[in-house]
Copies of this chain bind each other. A is one copy, B any other.
Amino acid sequence: MTGSEPSIDLEGWSCPVPLRHTDRIVMGHGGGGTLSGELIEHLFLPAFGAAAAGATPTDSAVLDLGNGTRLAFSTDTYVVQPLVFPGGDIGELAVNGTVNDISMSGARPIALSTGFVLEEGLETALLGRIATSMGRAAVAAGVGLVTGDTKVVEQGRGDGVYVNTAGFGLVPAGVDIRPARARPGDVVIVSGEIGLHGVAVLSVREGLEFGTEVRSDTAPLNDLVEAMLAVTTDLHVLRDPTRGGLAASLCEIAEVARVGVEFDERSVPVPDAVRAACGFLGLDPLHVANEGKLVAIVPPEVADAVLEAMRARSVGSRSAIIGRVTDTHPGTVVVRTSLGASRVVDRPLGEQLPRIC
């Protein structure tokens, strides 16, 4: 469009504000909140039809291969900007993220695939750095990078590099971890400080500083899950609160299991720098993405032992019990604020922090 063009180019026009009913895709459809959920429920699932029978909104699908082998299978595409951020880069994120999604069904991750969309003109050295991070993260998590694919698109049709990883793991016998298993009386545990990944990416993207440098918490969680399963195979729910943050994960669990969730705001570990950044930016730390944390819902009789096992691992050293599952207000998450009031926790509608992972 040239500057002398008087008319609005409706062809290329898009809505800056996420709309619930839109005939065009908006950024919010990728935010992991309500709009993402609607896209799945109202577009993908009806379109996929019988092919998606039995698909559930979990981090990974669990498939029974018929010979006693249960496979957890998951995928994520990573489009984070910038490609390198404090504490990590898109490559490390792409490995840890899918390792964690597999781990959230209690599976031991085995192998990942890697699918690259490279933008013409990308520096080969930067791609090498990203791939090296992927190799290092895969070795650290004990998974293989066993198959892959690379496509190249013209300049202006990509953004440096997008990485898809898919992967699978084996679910141990007797393990059945999924959102629907949350039960009234269960205890809610979070594995450490929240909000670090989102604030780290945002700070470097916007050139903001919040006193101390905030670094992404990107980390593999499979060892932590293994330590928890060593206490009991009867963990009920595990989720990694990435896009949409802790709020989106808890809301989804409450909805799927038809239970209430209540937690105490003061129990949730929020680093000072994250709190300061969120205050400055008008964000709720509960909505900010994490990449090395999990939320666990466990039977009350094992909660203390699970917490102890989590704290014994460096990645879970700041674990804390934050709340309970209730039989009141099913489908709703309620937080008791530091002022003693209660408020309902919503998942974000659309995209607070675009392209965070």
Binding site for B on A (CB under 8 A): 12-14, 22-31, 36, 39-40, 43-44, 47-55, 60-61, 63, 65, 67-69, 71, 73-79, 110-111, 113-125, 127-128, 131-132, 134-136, 138-139, 143-159, 162, 164, 166, 168, 170, 351, 354-355
**Complex: A40 Cα to B116 Cα, angstroms:** 12
Whether A117 touches B79, Cβ cut-off 8 Å, given contacts A67-B69, A145-B55, A146-B73, is yes
Residue of B nearest to A159 (CB): B157
**Complex: A278 Cα to B154 Cα, angstroms:** 24
**Complex: A196 Cα to B144 Cα, angstroms:** 36
Q: Give chain B residues whose Cβ lies under 8 Å from the Cβ of A168.
A: 71, 73, 168
- Each complex incorporates copies of this chain amounting to 2
Q: Are B44 and A148 in contact (CB under 8 A)?
A: yes
**Complex: A138 Cα to B51 Cα, angstroms:** 6
Q: Give chain B residues whose Cβ lies under 8 Å from the Cβ of A29.
A: 118, 150, 152
Contact of A164 among B12, B115, B125, B154 (CB under 8 A): B115
Q: Give chain B residues whose Cβ lies under 8 Å from the Cβ of A39.
A: 150
Whether A115 touches B158, Cβ cut-off 8 Å, given contacts A138-B48, A139-B50, is no
With a 10 A CB-CB cut-off, give which of A23, A111, A144, A156 has the most chain B CB atoms.
A144
Contact of A74 among B65, B76, B113, B153 (CB under 8 A): B113
Q: Give chain B residues whose Cβ lies under 8 Å from the Cβ of A139.
A: 49-51
| Shortest distance from the beta carbon of A66 to any chain B beta carbon, whole Å | 9
Can you report 24 A-B residue pairs in the complex whose CB atoms are below 8 A from each other? Answer: A14-B120, A14-B155, A23-B125, A25-B118, A28-B152, A30-B151, A36-B150, A44-B131, A47-B135, A51-B135, A54-B144, A60-B147, A74-B113, A77-B116, A77-B117, A77-B149, A117-B117, A151-B355, A152-B351, A153-B159, A153-B162, A157-B158, A157-B159, A164-B166
